[in-house]
Amino acid sequence: MTAGEHATVPAVAGDDGHWRLRHLPTLLLASAVVVVAGAVVGGLARGGAGAVGAAVGVALPSASFTLSTVVLAWADKQNPRLVLPFGVGLYVMKYSLLGAAMIPVGASDWPGLLPFGWGVAAGIVAWTGVHIWWLTRVWPKRRQSAME
């Protein structure tokens, strides 16, 4: 190997590298379910603004996590050394934009604000919980069956 080349170790021998995104469909499906549930609960609690607030609240962290997953999978596939700079850069960009957007939203008297906040919390808990479930229950079984 020359200085410009890099070695990547597939998650499973003979793997094509698509393992980096295998969990994404499960997480997106779970997020969609929580978006709908959030919209229903938000709508019952605060009407139309509550439904929109809760749904957008759930969708925001789901979109953020999806963007991170896709960008970091791409960076890892290009060269694993790119994961840290892309991860840090993406983190700074996302939270700078989020902070800039939340200042006027937080200062408003929008009736969907409280459901929005609960939706963000629900989206983060759902995404993290399903991700942990996938990594502890689904991924080991897939790795084991691929190795046999």
- Is it the case that residue 148 has pLDDT exceeding 70? no
Distances from the Cα of 13 to the Cα of 23, 29, 66, 73, 87, angstroms:
19, 28, 26, 18, 26
- Is it the case that residue 107 has pLDDT exceeding 60? yes
pTM for the complete prediction? 0.79
- Is it the case that residue 18 has pLDDT exceeding 80? no
Averaged confidence pLDDT in the chain: 86
- Is it the case that residue 32 has pLDDT exceeding 80? yes
- Is it the case that residue 16 has pLDDT exceeding 80? no
DSSP secondary structure of 71-133:
HHHHHHHH-GGGHHHHHHHHHHHHHHHHHHHHHHHHHS--TTHHHHHHHHHHHHHHHHHHHHH
Q: What are the structural domain ranges in the chain?
A: 21-42+56-128
pLDDT (mean) for 130-135: 91
- Is it the case that residue 14 has pLDDT exceeding 50? no
Measured distance CA(148)–CA(146) in Å, rounded: 6
Residue length of the chain? 148
Left, alpha or beta for 6 (phi > 0: left; psi -120 to 50: alpha)?
beta
8 A C-beta contact, residue 76 and residue 69: no
Q: What is the pLDDT of residue 73?
A: 92
pLDDT (mean) for 1-30: 67
